Structure 1
Amino acid sequence: MKAIILAGGLGTRLSEETGDKPKPMVLLDDKPIIWHLMEIYAKQGVTDFVIATGYLGGIIHQWVKSLKTTWNIKALDTGDDTLTGGRIRQCLEFIGPERSFATYGDGLGNINLKNLLDFHINQGRAATVTAVRPPARFGLLESSNGLVTSFTEKNQAHAGWINGGFFVLDPEVKNYIVEDMEPFESGALPRMVADANLSSYHHSD
Protein backbone atom coordinates (compact mmCIF):
# COMPACT_ATOMS: atom_id res chain seq x y z
CA MET A 1 0.00 0.00 0.00
CA LYS A 2 1.34 3.41 -1.00
CA ALA A 3 1.35 6.69 0.90
CA ILE A 4 0.73 9.95 -0.95
CA ILE A 5 2.60 12.93 0.49
CA LEU A 6 1.48 16.41 -0.54
CA ALA A 7 4.65 18.47 -0.85
CA GLY A 8 3.94 21.10 -3.50
CA GLY A 9 2.49 24.09 -1.64
CA LEU A 10 4.11 27.47 -1.12
CA GLY A 11 4.52 27.16 2.65
CA THR A 12 3.57 30.78 3.29
CA ARG A 13 3.25 30.31 7.06
CA LEU A 14 6.95 29.45 7.22
CA SER A 15 8.05 32.04 4.68
CA GLU A 16 11.29 32.83 6.48
CA GLU A 17 12.30 29.17 6.04
CA THR A 18 10.77 28.42 2.65
CA GLY A 19 12.14 31.16 0.42
CA ASP A 20 14.64 28.73 -1.07
CA LYS A 21 13.08 25.34 -0.33
CA PRO A 22 9.67 23.63 -0.14
CA LYS A 23 8.18 23.53 3.35
CA PRO A 24 8.59 19.72 3.70
CA MET A 25 12.34 20.21 3.21
CA VAL A 26 12.71 22.47 6.26
CA LEU A 27 15.16 20.74 8.60
CA LEU A 28 14.14 19.22 11.90
CA ASP A 29 17.01 17.60 13.84
CA ASP A 30 19.21 17.87 10.72
CA LYS A 31 16.73 16.01 8.49
CA PRO A 32 13.84 17.34 6.38
CA ILE A 33 10.35 17.22 7.88
CA ILE A 34 9.31 14.93 5.03
CA TRP A 35 11.95 12.37 6.06
CA HIS A 36 10.51 12.25 9.59
CA LEU A 37 7.04 11.84 8.10
CA MET A 38 8.11 8.93 5.91
CA GLU A 39 9.84 7.40 8.91
CA ILE A 40 6.48 7.38 10.73
CA TYR A 41 5.04 5.33 7.86
CA ALA A 42 8.10 3.12 7.42
CA LYS A 43 8.16 2.12 11.08
CA GLN A 44 4.63 0.81 10.57
CA GLY A 45 5.44 -1.13 7.41
CA VAL A 46 4.55 1.42 4.72
CA THR A 47 7.64 2.07 2.58
CA ASP A 48 6.12 2.89 -0.82
CA PHE A 49 5.70 6.64 -1.31
CA VAL A 50 4.37 8.99 -3.99
CA ILE A 51 5.43 12.57 -3.29
CA ALA A 52 3.33 15.22 -5.04
CA THR A 53 5.76 18.04 -5.80
CA GLY A 54 5.20 21.56 -7.09
CA TYR A 55 6.80 24.72 -5.68
CA LEU A 56 10.61 24.28 -5.88
CA GLY A 57 9.93 20.62 -6.53
CA GLY A 58 13.33 20.08 -8.12
CA ILE A 59 14.86 20.23 -4.65
CA ILE A 60 12.71 17.29 -3.53
CA HIS A 61 13.44 15.36 -6.73
CA GLN A 62 17.19 15.76 -6.20
CA TRP A 63 16.89 14.83 -2.53
CA VAL A 64 14.98 11.65 -3.42
CA LYS A 65 17.67 10.69 -5.94
CA SER A 66 20.41 11.17 -3.36
CA LEU A 67 18.61 9.33 -0.56
CA LYS A 68 20.17 6.03 0.43
CA THR A 69 17.21 3.94 1.54
CA THR A 70 15.29 0.77 0.83
CA TRP A 71 12.09 2.78 0.58
CA ASN A 72 10.42 2.99 -2.84
CA ILE A 73 9.91 6.70 -3.54
CA LYS A 74 8.36 8.34 -6.61
CA ALA A 75 8.52 12.14 -6.77
CA LEU A 76 5.67 13.18 -9.07
CA ASP A 77 5.67 16.71 -10.52
CA THR A 78 2.05 17.82 -10.13
CA GLY A 79 2.59 21.45 -11.19
CA ASP A 80 3.63 24.62 -9.40
CA ASP A 81 0.13 26.12 -9.17
CA THR A 82 -1.91 22.96 -8.70
CA LEU A 83 -3.96 22.84 -5.50
CA THR A 84 -4.35 19.90 -3.13
CA GLY A 85 -7.31 18.41 -4.99
CA GLY A 86 -5.39 18.28 -8.25
CA ARG A 87 -2.28 16.89 -6.60
CA ILE A 88 -4.26 14.07 -5.00
CA ARG A 89 -6.07 13.33 -8.26
CA GLN A 90 -2.79 13.05 -10.18
CA CYS A 91 -1.32 10.77 -7.52
CA LEU A 92 -4.40 8.54 -7.49
CA GLU A 93 -4.24 8.24 -11.28
CA PHE A 94 -0.56 7.33 -11.03
CA ILE A 95 -1.22 4.71 -8.34
CA GLY A 96 -4.13 3.11 -10.17
CA PRO A 97 -6.85 0.84 -8.74
CA GLU A 98 -5.61 0.46 -5.21
CA ARG A 99 -6.25 2.04 -1.84
CA SER A 100 -3.67 4.48 -0.47
CA PHE A 101 -2.76 6.54 2.54
CA ALA A 102 -2.38 10.30 2.08
CA THR A 103 -1.04 13.13 4.20
CA TYR A 104 0.41 16.61 4.11
CA GLY A 105 4.18 16.87 3.77
CA ASP A 106 4.62 19.24 6.70
CA GLY A 107 2.66 17.52 9.47
CA LEU A 108 3.84 14.90 11.94
CA GLY A 109 1.82 12.76 14.32
CA ASN A 110 1.68 9.54 16.30
CA ILE A 111 -1.12 7.98 14.28
CA ASN A 112 -1.56 4.19 14.37
CA LEU A 113 -1.85 3.40 10.67
CA LYS A 114 -3.16 -0.14 11.15
CA ASN A 115 -5.99 1.10 13.35
CA LEU A 116 -6.76 3.85 10.84
CA LEU A 117 -6.82 1.40 7.94
CA ASP A 118 -8.91 -1.18 9.79
CA PHE A 119 -11.41 1.54 10.69
CA HIS A 120 -11.59 2.68 7.06
CA ILE A 121 -12.19 -0.84 5.77
CA ASN A 122 -14.89 -1.50 8.36
CA GLN A 123 -16.65 1.77 7.52
CA GLY A 124 -16.75 0.95 3.81
CA ARG A 125 -16.69 4.54 2.53
CA ALA A 126 -14.57 6.21 -0.16
CA ALA A 127 -12.29 8.03 2.27
CA THR A 128 -11.43 8.40 5.92
CA VAL A 129 -10.01 11.56 7.48
CA THR A 130 -8.29 11.59 10.85
CA ALA A 131 -10.09 13.89 13.28
CA VAL A 132 -8.14 15.53 16.12
CA ARG A 133 -8.82 18.15 18.76
CA PRO A 134 -7.43 21.60 17.87
CA PRO A 135 -4.44 22.60 20.00
CA ALA A 136 -5.14 25.08 22.77
CA ARG A 137 -3.91 28.51 21.71
CA PHE A 138 -3.80 30.04 25.17
CA GLY A 139 -3.51 28.96 28.78
CA LEU A 140 -6.49 29.69 31.03
CA LEU A 141 -5.62 32.20 33.74
CA GLU A 142 -7.80 33.01 36.76
CA SER A 143 -7.04 35.77 39.25
CA SER A 144 -8.46 37.56 42.26
CA ASN A 145 -7.40 41.07 43.30
CA GLY A 146 -4.28 40.85 41.14
CA LEU A 147 -3.24 37.43 42.47
CA VAL A 148 -3.14 34.55 40.00
CA THR A 149 -5.17 31.75 41.56
CA SER A 150 -5.07 29.29 38.67
CA PHE A 151 -3.09 28.84 35.48
CA THR A 152 -3.96 25.80 33.38
CA GLU A 153 -4.01 24.74 29.77
CA LYS A 154 -7.30 25.46 28.08
CA ASN A 155 -9.60 22.42 28.10
CA GLN A 156 -10.17 21.42 24.47
CA ALA A 157 -12.67 18.65 25.22
CA HIS A 158 -15.54 20.79 23.92
CA ALA A 159 -13.66 22.49 21.09
CA GLY A 160 -14.84 20.13 18.36
CA TRP A 161 -12.68 18.21 15.90
CA ILE A 162 -10.49 19.30 12.99
CA ASN A 163 -8.77 17.66 10.04
CA GLY A 164 -5.74 15.84 11.46
CA GLY A 165 -4.09 15.43 8.07
CA PHE A 166 -3.87 11.64 7.77
CA PHE A 167 -6.21 10.04 5.22
CA VAL A 168 -7.08 6.69 3.69
CA LEU A 169 -8.34 7.06 0.12
CA ASP A 170 -10.02 4.57 -2.18
CA PRO A 171 -9.51 5.00 -5.95
CA GLU A 172 -13.03 6.40 -6.39
CA VAL A 173 -11.99 9.55 -4.53
CA LYS A 174 -10.61 10.95 -7.78
CA ASN A 175 -14.18 11.06 -9.12
CA TYR A 176 -14.95 13.71 -6.51
CA ILE A 177 -12.15 16.01 -7.69
CA VAL A 178 -13.46 18.34 -10.39
CA GLU A 179 -10.29 20.19 -11.38
CA ASP A 180 -6.65 20.65 -10.48
CA MET A 181 -7.17 24.23 -9.28
CA GLU A 182 -9.40 23.19 -6.41
CA PRO A 183 -8.49 22.52 -2.78
CA PHE A 184 -9.22 18.96 -1.69
CA GLU A 185 -10.52 20.32 1.62
CA SER A 186 -13.23 22.58 0.15
CA GLY A 187 -14.00 20.54 -2.96
CA ALA A 188 -13.83 16.76 -2.82
CA LEU A 189 -14.30 16.39 0.94
CA PRO A 190 -17.62 18.31 1.10
CA ARG A 191 -18.84 16.37 -1.95
CA MET A 192 -18.10 13.10 -0.19
CA VAL A 193 -19.90 14.41 2.88
CA ALA A 194 -22.94 15.19 0.72
CA ASP A 195 -22.84 11.59 -0.56
CA ALA A 196 -22.42 10.16 2.96
CA ASN A 197 -19.13 8.72 1.69
CA LEU A 198 -16.55 10.16 4.14
CA SER A 199 -15.61 8.66 7.51
CA SER A 200 -13.75 10.26 10.43
CA TYR A 201 -11.28 8.37 12.58
CA HIS A 202 -10.99 10.13 15.94
CA HIS A 203 -7.41 10.30 17.18
CA SER A 204 -6.81 11.81 20.61
CA ASP A 205 -3.47 10.42 21.86
Structure 2
Amino acid sequence: MKAIIPVAGAGTQLRPLTYTQPKPLIPVAGKPIISFIIDQLAAVGIEDFVFVIGYLGEKIKDYVERQYPHLNTAFVVQEDRLGSAHAIWTAKALFADASEVFIFFGDAIVDADFNKIVAHPNSCLGVKKVSDPREYGVAECSKTGLVRRVIEKPRIPKSDLALVGFYKIKEVSALIDALDYNIKNNIRTEGEFPLTDSLMRMITRGARLHAFPVDNWFNCGKKEVLLETNAILLDREGYASDNLPPFDNSIIIHPVSIGKDCSIADSIVGPHVTIGSNTRIANAIIKDSIIGNYASIKEVILQQSVVGNDTAITGLRHSLNIGDNTEIDFSSP
Protein backbone atom coordinates (compact mmCIF):
# COMPACT_ATOMS: atom_id res chain seq x y z
CA MET A 1 0.00 0.00 0.00
CA LYS A 2 1.14 3.49 -0.82
CA ALA A 3 0.04 6.76 0.78
CA ILE A 4 -0.68 9.83 -1.33
CA ILE A 5 -0.61 13.09 0.61
CA PRO A 6 -1.74 16.15 -1.40
CA VAL A 7 -0.29 19.28 0.25
CA ALA A 8 -0.16 21.74 -2.64
CA GLY A 9 -2.85 24.16 -1.43
CA ALA A 10 -2.09 27.79 -0.58
CA GLY A 11 -4.08 27.86 2.69
CA THR A 12 -5.73 31.15 1.80
CA GLN A 13 -8.11 31.12 4.77
CA LEU A 14 -5.16 31.19 7.17
CA ARG A 15 -3.38 34.14 5.59
CA PRO A 16 -1.21 36.03 6.37
CA LEU A 17 0.25 33.11 8.34
CA THR A 18 0.42 30.92 5.22
CA TYR A 19 2.20 33.48 3.07
CA THR A 20 5.46 32.05 4.41
CA GLN A 21 4.38 28.90 6.26
CA PRO A 22 2.62 26.03 4.45
CA LYS A 23 -0.54 25.01 6.28
CA PRO A 24 0.53 21.38 6.85
CA LEU A 25 3.52 22.63 8.88
CA ILE A 26 1.45 24.73 11.30
CA PRO A 27 1.93 23.25 14.78
CA VAL A 28 -1.06 21.91 16.71
CA ALA A 29 -0.55 20.59 20.25
CA GLY A 30 3.17 20.49 19.72
CA LYS A 31 3.60 19.03 16.23
CA PRO A 32 2.79 20.00 12.64
CA ILE A 33 -0.50 18.89 11.11
CA ILE A 34 1.29 16.75 8.55
CA SER A 35 3.02 14.76 11.29
CA PHE A 36 -0.32 13.59 12.67
CA ILE A 37 -1.09 12.12 9.24
CA ILE A 38 2.31 10.52 8.63
CA ASP A 39 2.48 9.06 12.14
CA GLN A 40 -1.00 7.50 11.86
CA LEU A 41 -0.28 5.90 8.50
CA ALA A 42 3.20 4.74 9.44
CA ALA A 43 1.73 3.13 12.58
CA VAL A 44 -0.38 0.78 10.43
CA GLY A 45 2.59 -0.28 8.35
CA ILE A 46 2.62 2.15 5.42
CA GLU A 47 6.20 2.99 4.44
CA ASP A 48 5.81 4.40 0.92
CA PHE A 49 4.61 8.00 0.74
CA VAL A 50 3.98 10.25 -2.25
CA PHE A 51 3.59 13.94 -1.47
CA VAL A 52 2.00 16.27 -4.01
CA ILE A 53 3.53 19.64 -3.27
CA GLY A 54 3.15 23.10 -4.73
CA TYR A 55 2.97 26.33 -2.77
CA LEU A 56 6.01 26.49 -0.42
CA GLY A 57 6.57 22.85 -1.26
CA GLU A 58 10.30 22.89 -0.55
CA LYS A 59 9.58 23.59 3.12
CA ILE A 60 7.34 20.52 3.30
CA LYS A 61 9.94 18.40 1.47
CA ASP A 62 12.71 19.55 3.80
CA TYR A 63 10.63 18.83 6.90
CA VAL A 64 9.54 15.35 5.80
CA GLU A 65 13.03 14.28 4.73
CA ARG A 66 14.53 15.58 7.95
CA GLN A 67 11.94 14.12 10.33
CA TYR A 68 11.18 10.83 8.52
CA PRO A 69 14.43 9.62 6.92
CA HIS A 70 13.38 5.98 7.41
CA LEU A 71 10.33 6.26 5.12
CA ASN A 72 10.33 5.86 1.35
CA THR A 73 9.23 9.28 0.15
CA ALA A 74 8.68 10.84 -3.24
CA PHE A 75 7.58 14.36 -4.16
CA VAL A 76 5.62 15.56 -7.17
CA VAL A 77 4.98 19.23 -7.94
CA GLN A 78 1.47 20.27 -8.94
CA GLU A 79 2.31 23.24 -11.13
CA ASP A 80 -1.29 24.39 -11.57
CA ARG A 81 -3.76 24.13 -8.69
CA LEU A 82 -6.71 22.69 -10.57
CA GLY A 83 -8.34 20.72 -7.78
CA SER A 84 -7.87 17.65 -5.62
CA ALA A 85 -8.29 15.11 -8.42
CA HIS A 86 -5.75 16.97 -10.54
CA ALA A 87 -3.27 16.82 -7.64
CA ILE A 88 -3.62 13.04 -7.39
CA TRP A 89 -3.55 12.63 -11.17
CA THR A 90 -0.23 14.51 -11.21
CA ALA A 91 1.30 11.72 -9.11
CA LYS A 92 -0.30 8.73 -10.90
CA ALA A 93 2.96 7.39 -12.31
CA LEU A 94 4.24 6.90 -8.76
CA PHE A 95 1.33 4.81 -7.50
CA ALA A 96 0.07 3.01 -10.62
CA ASP A 97 1.83 -0.19 -9.49
CA ALA A 98 0.35 -0.13 -5.97
CA SER A 99 -2.10 -2.82 -4.85
CA GLU A 100 -3.94 -0.19 -2.76
CA VAL A 101 -3.56 3.52 -2.11
CA PHE A 102 -4.39 5.59 0.92
CA ILE A 103 -5.18 9.20 0.04
CA PHE A 104 -5.01 11.62 2.95
CA PHE A 105 -5.29 15.36 2.41
CA GLY A 106 -2.74 17.31 4.39
CA ASP A 107 -4.93 19.80 6.24
CA ALA A 108 -7.04 17.48 8.40
CA ILE A 109 -6.51 15.67 11.69
CA VAL A 110 -8.71 12.61 12.12
CA ASP A 111 -9.43 10.25 15.00
CA ALA A 112 -10.22 6.81 13.62
CA ASP A 113 -9.20 3.17 13.93
CA PHE A 114 -6.84 3.00 10.97
CA ASN A 115 -6.12 -0.68 11.58
CA LYS A 116 -9.80 -1.39 10.87
CA ILE A 117 -9.67 0.77 7.76
CA VAL A 118 -6.63 -1.06 6.41
CA ALA A 119 -8.23 -4.44 7.20
CA HIS A 120 -11.57 -3.55 5.57
CA PRO A 121 -12.13 -5.75 2.51
CA ASN A 122 -13.43 -2.89 0.38
CA SER A 123 -12.44 0.63 -0.53
CA CYS A 124 -13.36 3.15 2.18
CA LEU A 125 -14.21 6.84 2.37
CA GLY A 126 -13.85 8.56 5.73
CA VAL A 127 -17.06 10.37 6.73
CA LYS A 128 -18.40 12.41 9.63
CA LYS A 129 -21.87 13.80 10.29
CA VAL A 130 -21.93 17.62 10.10
CA SER A 131 -24.56 20.27 10.69
CA ASP A 132 -24.11 22.02 7.33
CA PRO A 133 -23.02 19.60 4.59
CA ARG A 134 -23.10 22.32 1.92
CA GLU A 135 -19.53 23.27 2.79
CA TYR A 136 -18.06 19.83 2.03
CA GLY A 137 -17.98 16.89 -0.29
CA VAL A 138 -20.88 14.65 0.75
CA ALA A 139 -21.52 10.91 0.58
CA GLU A 140 -24.99 9.41 0.10
CA CYS A 141 -25.06 5.85 1.41
CA SER A 142 -27.26 2.79 1.74
CA LYS A 143 -28.23 1.43 5.16
CA THR A 144 -25.25 -0.91 4.98
CA GLY A 145 -22.80 1.93 4.33
CA LEU A 146 -22.33 1.32 0.62
CA VAL A 147 -21.70 4.68 -1.04
CA ARG A 148 -24.25 5.32 -3.77
CA ARG A 149 -23.27 8.88 -4.64
CA VAL A 150 -20.65 11.51 -3.81
CA ILE A 151 -21.06 15.17 -4.65
CA GLU A 152 -18.95 18.26 -4.02
CA LYS A 153 -20.61 20.99 -1.91
CA PRO A 154 -24.24 20.27 -2.82
CA ARG A 155 -26.68 23.19 -2.70
CA ILE A 156 -29.43 20.92 -1.39
CA PRO A 157 -27.71 18.06 0.47
CA LYS A 158 -29.46 14.70 0.68
CA SER A 159 -27.00 13.49 3.31
CA ASP A 160 -25.21 14.94 6.33
CA LEU A 161 -22.15 12.72 5.88
CA ALA A 162 -19.19 14.91 4.97
CA LEU A 163 -16.07 13.46 3.37
CA VAL A 164 -13.26 14.11 5.84
CA GLY A 165 -10.35 13.88 3.43
CA PHE A 166 -9.04 10.33 3.59
CA TYR A 167 -9.75 7.46 1.22
CA LYS A 168 -8.52 3.87 0.99
CA ILE A 169 -8.81 2.77 -2.62
CA LYS A 170 -8.32 -0.86 -3.63
CA GLU A 171 -9.30 -0.36 -7.28
CA VAL A 172 -6.19 1.62 -8.17
CA SER A 173 -6.47 1.16 -11.94
CA ALA A 174 -10.13 2.22 -11.83
CA LEU A 175 -9.14 5.36 -9.91
CA ILE A 176 -6.50 6.25 -12.49
CA ASP A 177 -8.95 5.61 -15.33
CA ALA A 178 -11.51 7.92 -13.69
CA LEU A 179 -8.92 10.64 -13.14
CA ASP A 180 -7.72 10.35 -16.73
CA TYR A 181 -11.23 10.43 -18.15
CA ASN A 182 -12.36 13.54 -16.29
CA ILE A 183 -9.19 15.50 -16.91
CA LYS A 184 -8.78 14.55 -20.58
CA ASN A 185 -12.46 15.42 -21.18
CA ASN A 186 -12.22 18.60 -19.10
CA ILE A 187 -15.06 17.57 -16.79
CA ARG A 188 -14.93 20.17 -14.04
CA THR A 189 -17.00 21.35 -11.10
CA GLU A 190 -16.82 25.08 -10.42
CA GLY A 191 -13.70 25.32 -12.57
CA GLU A 192 -11.73 22.54 -10.88
CA PHE A 193 -11.31 18.77 -10.92
CA PRO A 194 -12.52 17.59 -7.49
CA LEU A 195 -11.83 14.06 -6.36
CA THR A 196 -15.55 13.52 -5.73
CA ASP A 197 -16.21 13.58 -9.49
CA SER A 198 -13.63 10.86 -10.10
CA LEU A 199 -14.99 8.75 -7.24
CA MET A 200 -18.48 9.13 -8.67
CA ARG A 201 -17.28 7.87 -12.04
CA MET A 202 -15.78 4.85 -10.28
CA ILE A 203 -19.11 4.17 -8.57
CA THR A 204 -21.09 4.39 -11.81
CA ARG A 205 -18.67 1.91 -13.37
CA GLY A 206 -19.14 -0.65 -10.61
CA ALA A 207 -16.63 0.14 -7.86
CA ARG A 208 -17.86 -0.63 -4.35
CA LEU A 209 -16.91 2.14 -1.93
CA HIS A 210 -17.94 2.01 1.73
CA ALA A 211 -18.37 4.86 4.17
CA PHE A 212 -16.18 4.61 7.28
CA PRO A 213 -17.40 6.90 10.11
CA VAL A 214 -14.58 8.56 12.03
CA ASP A 215 -14.62 9.45 15.72
CA ASN A 216 -13.43 13.03 15.31
CA TRP A 217 -12.48 15.27 12.42
CA PHE A 218 -10.58 18.54 12.73
CA ASN A 219 -10.56 20.41 9.44
CA CYS A 220 -7.73 22.82 10.22
CA GLY A 221 -8.31 25.24 7.36
CA LYS A 222 -9.56 28.13 9.50
CA LYS A 223 -8.04 29.93 12.45
CA GLU A 224 -10.96 29.20 14.78
CA VAL A 225 -10.86 25.45 14.05
CA LEU A 226 -7.07 25.41 14.34
CA LEU A 227 -7.21 26.90 17.84
CA GLU A 228 -10.10 24.68 18.89
CA THR A 229 -8.19 21.61 17.71
CA ASN A 230 -5.11 22.74 19.59
CA ALA A 231 -7.13 23.05 22.81
CA ILE A 232 -8.89 19.69 22.42
CA LEU A 233 -5.67 17.81 21.76
CA LEU A 234 -3.78 19.49 24.59
CA ASP A 235 -6.53 18.33 26.95
CA ARG A 236 -5.80 14.73 25.94
CA GLU A 237 -3.15 12.58 27.53
CA GLY A 238 0.17 12.55 25.73
CA TYR A 239 0.10 15.90 23.95
CA ALA A 240 0.91 18.52 26.61
CA SER A 241 4.45 19.10 27.85
CA ASP A 242 5.57 17.34 31.04
CA ASN A 243 8.54 18.13 33.25
CA LEU A 244 8.98 21.68 32.01
CA PRO A 245 12.03 23.55 33.26
CA PRO A 246 11.49 26.39 35.74
CA PHE A 247 10.77 29.72 34.06
CA ASP A 248 11.80 33.00 35.67
CA ASN A 249 8.99 34.56 37.72
CA SER A 250 6.32 33.02 35.48
CA ILE A 251 3.13 31.02 35.88
CA ILE A 252 2.38 28.13 33.51
CA ILE A 253 -1.29 27.11 33.46
CA HIS A 254 -1.58 23.62 32.03
CA PRO A 255 -2.18 22.15 29.53
CA VAL A 256 0.48 23.69 27.32
CA SER A 257 3.07 22.47 24.82
CA ILE A 258 6.36 24.35 25.02
CA GLY A 259 9.22 23.57 22.65
CA LYS A 260 12.91 23.26 23.34
CA ASP A 261 15.20 26.13 24.36
CA CYS A 262 12.43 28.63 25.14
CA SER A 263 12.90 31.55 27.50
CA ILE A 264 9.86 32.71 29.49
CA ALA A 265 10.12 35.46 32.08
CA ASP A 266 7.65 37.54 34.08
CA SER A 267 4.73 36.02 32.17
CA ILE A 268 1.59 33.94 32.45
CA VAL A 269 1.25 31.24 29.80
CA GLY A 270 -1.77 28.97 29.37
CA PRO A 271 -4.03 27.23 29.29
CA HIS A 272 -4.16 25.72 25.78
CA VAL A 273 -1.02 27.31 24.41
CA THR A 274 1.41 25.73 21.94
CA ILE A 275 4.83 27.39 21.71
CA GLY A 276 7.52 26.37 19.24
CA SER A 277 11.22 26.00 19.93
CA ASN A 278 13.65 28.85 20.67
CA THR A 279 10.91 31.36 21.43
CA ARG A 280 11.38 34.27 23.83
CA ILE A 281 8.50 35.54 25.97
CA ALA A 282 8.73 38.35 28.49
CA ASN A 283 6.16 40.39 30.43
CA ALA A 284 3.31 38.76 28.55
CA ILE A 285 0.03 36.97 29.13
CA ILE A 286 -0.79 34.28 26.56
CA LYS A 287 -3.72 31.87 26.48
CA ASP A 288 -5.58 29.82 23.88
CA SER A 289 -2.93 30.52 21.24
CA ILE A 290 -0.33 28.99 18.93
CA ILE A 291 3.14 30.58 18.75
CA GLY A 292 5.73 29.49 16.19
CA ASN A 293 9.47 28.85 16.43
CA TYR A 294 12.00 31.62 17.07
CA ALA A 295 9.27 34.13 17.97
CA SER A 296 9.73 37.04 20.35
CA ILE A 297 6.73 38.13 22.43
CA LYS A 298 7.12 41.03 24.84
CA GLU A 299 4.75 43.18 26.86
CA VAL A 300 1.52 42.00 25.27
CA ILE A 301 -1.64 40.11 26.13
CA LEU A 302 -2.54 37.46 23.54
CA GLN A 303 -5.58 35.23 23.37
CA GLN A 304 -7.13 33.29 20.49
CA SER A 305 -4.04 34.17 18.45
CA VAL A 306 -1.86 32.37 15.91
CA VAL A 307 1.66 33.79 15.59
CA GLY A 308 4.07 32.52 12.95
CA ASN A 309 7.77 31.65 13.04
CA ASP A 310 10.44 34.34 13.45
CA THR A 311 7.83 36.89 14.49
CA ALA A 312 8.48 39.74 16.94
CA ILE A 313 5.66 41.40 18.87
CA THR A 314 6.29 44.17 21.38
CA GLY A 315 3.46 45.97 23.13
CA LEU A 316 3.19 49.46 24.54
CA ARG A 317 4.54 50.35 27.96
CA HIS A 318 3.26 53.30 29.95
CA SER A 319 4.62 55.12 32.96
CA LEU A 320 1.72 56.98 34.56
CA ASN A 321 1.16 59.34 37.47
CA ILE A 322 -2.63 59.53 37.72
CA GLY A 323 -4.65 61.61 40.16
CA ASP A 324 -8.06 60.88 41.65
CA ASN A 325 -11.31 60.61 39.66
CA THR A 326 -9.53 59.96 36.35
CA GLU A 327 -10.64 57.74 33.49
CA ILE A 328 -8.13 56.63 30.85
CA ASP A 329 -8.97 54.55 27.78
CA PHE A 330 -6.05 53.19 25.74
CA SER A 331 -8.28 51.34 23.28
CA SER A 332 -8.38 52.37 19.62
CA PRO A 333 -11.00 54.97 18.69
TM-score bracket for the superposition, by shorter chain length = 0.7 to 0.9
Counterpart for residue 10 of structure 1: 10
Tell me which protein shows more helix as a share of its residues. Answer: 1
Q: For each residue in 1:24-47, what CA deviation from the matched residue of structure 2 results, as whole angstroms up to 9, or x when unmatched?
A: 111223432101210111222223
Deviation sequence 1:61-86 (CA, Å, 0-9, x none) = 22233335422222221224242112
Does the CA contact (< 8 Å) of 1:176 and 1:191 recur in 2?
Answer: yes
Structure 1: 4+ residue segments shifted above 3 A: none
Is contact 1:4–1:50 with CA below 8 Å preserved after alignment? yes
Where does residue 174 of structure 1 map in the other structure?
Answer: 176
Q: Give the Cα separation in 2 of the matches to 1:197 and 1:50.
A: 24
Pairwise mapping of residues 39-188 of structure 1 onto structure 2 (< 5 A)? 39-98=39-98, 99-119=100-120, 121=121, 123=122, 127-134=123-130, 160-169=160-169, 170-172=171-173, 173-177=175-179, 178-179=182-183, 182-185=193-196, 187-188=197-198
**Structure 2 contact 128–164 (Cα < 8 Å) conserved:** yes
How many correspondences in the alignment?
179
Q: How far apart in 2 are the matches of 1:128 and 1:79?
A: 29
Counterparts in 2 of 1:80 and 1:61: CA distance versus 1, 3 Å: farther
Separation (CA, whole Å) in 2 of partners of 1:130 and 1:54: 25
The percentage of aligned residue pairs carrying the same residue is 23
Q: Which residue of structure 2 lines up, in the alignment, with residue 190 of structure 1?
A: 200
Distance change in 2, residues 1:67/1:6 (3 Å): same
Q: What SS class does the counterpart of residue 188 from structure 1 fall into?
A: helix
Classify the secondary structure of the residue corresponding to 1:197. Answer: coil
Query: Is the CA contact (8 Å cut-off) linking 2:124 and 2:212 kept in structure 1?
Result: no
Cα distance between partner residues in 2 of 1:67 and 1:135: 37
CA apart distance, 1:200: 2.4
Counterparts in 2 of 1:163 and 1:176: CA distance versus 1, 3 Å: same
Cα offset, 1:204, TM superposition: 4.3
Partner of 2:19: 19
TM-score in terms of structure 2 length = 0.49
Contact 1:52-1:78 at 8 Å conserved across structures: yes
Tell me the TM-score normalized by structure 1. 0.75
Contact 1:130–1:167 under 8 Å retained in 2: yes
Moved more, 162-171 or 175-184: 175-184
Shift of 1:10: 1.6
Q: Is the 8 A contact 1:92 1:171 kept in 2?
A: no
Please say which structure displays the higher CA radius of gyration: 2
Asked if structure 1 preserves the Cα contact closer than 8 Å seen for 2:8 and 2:57, the reply is: yes
CA distance, structure 1, for counterparts of residue 124 and residue 115 of structure 2: 13
Shift of the alpha carbon at 1:17?
2.4
Q: Which amino acid aligns with 1:134?
A: V
CA RMSD, 1 decimal: 2.5
The Cα of 1:135 is off from its aligned counterpart by: 6.1
Whole-angstrom CA distance in 1 between matches of 2:214 and 2:37 = 19
Deviation at 1:174, TM superposition (A): 1.1
Shift of 1:109: 1.2
More contact order relative to length (CA 8 Å, sep ≥ 6): 1
In the aligned structure 2, how far is the partner of 1:14 from the partner of 1:198?
Answer: 36
Cα 1:33–1:165, aligned 2, differ >3 Å: closer, same or farther? same
- Are residues 197 and 69 of structure 1, via their aligned partners in 2, closer, same or farther at CA, if it must alter by over 3 Å? same
Structure 1 residue 50 displacement after superposition = 0.9
**Structure 2: tracts of 5 or more residues without a match:** 133-158, 185-191, 216-333
Task: Please say if residues 76 and 91 of structure 2, whose CA atoms lie closer than 8 Å, have aligned partners that are also in contact.
Answer: yes
Residues of 2 paired with 1:73 and 1:135: CA distance? 37
The Cα offsets for residues 167-195 of structure 1, whole Å up to 9 and x where unpaired, read as 0123220111122851212x202222333
